[in-house]
């Protein structure tokens, strides 16, 4: 009898080097804000998102594309990169801004984490707004799941840990015969989420209180920093739960993220 698939969480970037992702489903999280931005963009009708390590790569690719077909976005330490169209902003990812176009994106932490997870058999992009959609897809695959947290400038991110726990909770609630083994790291993330979000709501009940979660996000290092920059609208989107039914999937080399 085969053992049940395992669920684990890599809490900080340095942990990725010691983990073999081959054969696993990697779920990348940069809750404030890159993965929320990607989810919001695809939910708004963006054709695809292409992650880059550097602003120069974004500018070079934008110059190669026909006018009007791409949108550029990115930040370093929360601040919009000069010359790009938008900040790394989920609130800016509207149909008017990105619908039908390709988003070229570079961020301090998130796009680096996505590029670093490509050894996995499948790479999914998760945030609170699409946590249940991600859980459904991961459950259907029936493979080990490794949550890859982008972290905050190299350290553990509270909000990424909470989102990992939120997706794990939804994954355990998925119907079917699948059994899961939660590694200690997954147990920690799940306990953190349940403690932060309050009592579990099941069976299609109304959403958790986004005001409570927004308050917690404001208290994290990353959230407090974004709030100081006046980006409260972004934090509000990041704290939404189960509001976007989209599954961003990373494919190809160089990687392209599409709704799949």
pLDDT for the residue numbered 16: 87
pLDDT for the residue numbered 135: 97
- For 66-77, how does the pLDDT look when each residue is reduced to its tens digit (9 = 90+)? 999 999 999 999
- For 96-118, how does the pLDDT look when each residue is reduced to its tens digit (9 = 90+)? 999 999 999 999 999 999 999 99
Residues of the chain falling short of pLDDT 70: 1-2, 176-178, 199-210
pLDDT for the residue numbered 206: 42
pLDDT for the residue numbered 214: 87
Q: Are 206 and 221 in contact (CB under 8 A)?
A: no
C-alpha to C-alpha distance for 101 and 99, rounded to whole angstroms = 6
Q: Which two tokens stand for residue 221?
A: 């290092």
| CATH topology (fold) of 6-259 | putative 2-phosphosulfolactate phosphatase (3.90.1560)
């Amino acid at each position: 009898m085969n053992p049940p698939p395992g669920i684990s969480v890599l809490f900080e970037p340095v942990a990725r080097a010691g983990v073999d992702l081959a054969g696993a489903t990697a779920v990348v999280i940069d809750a404030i804000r890159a993965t929320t931005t990607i989810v919001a963009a695809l939910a708004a009708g963006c054709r695809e998102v292409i992650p880059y390590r550097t602003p120069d790569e974004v500018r070079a690719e934008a110059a190669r594309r026909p006018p009007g077909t791409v949108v550029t976005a990115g930040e370093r330490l929360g601040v919009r990169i000069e010359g790009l169209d938008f900040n790394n902003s989920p609130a800016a990812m509207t149909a008017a801004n990105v619908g039908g176009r390709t988003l070229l994106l570079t961020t301090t932490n998130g796009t680096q984490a996505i590029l670093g997870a490509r050894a996995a058999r499948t790479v999914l992009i998760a945030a609170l707004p699409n946590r249940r959609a991600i859980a459904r897809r991961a459950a259907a695959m029936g493979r080990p799941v490794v949550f890859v947290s982008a972290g905050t400038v190299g350290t553990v991110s509270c909000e990424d840990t909470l989102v990992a726990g939120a997706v794990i909770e939804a994954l355990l609630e998925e119907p079917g015969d699948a059994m899961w083994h939660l590694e200690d790291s997954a147990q920690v993330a799940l306990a953190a989420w349940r403690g932060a979000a309050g009592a579990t709501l099941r069976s299609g009940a109304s959403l958790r209180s986004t005001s409570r979660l927004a308050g917690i996000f404001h208290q994290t290092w990353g959230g407090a920093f974004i709030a100081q920059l006046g980006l409260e609208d972004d934090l509000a989107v990041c704290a939404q739960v189960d509001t976007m039914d989209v599954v961003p999937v990373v494919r190809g080399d160089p990687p392209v993220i599409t709704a799949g």
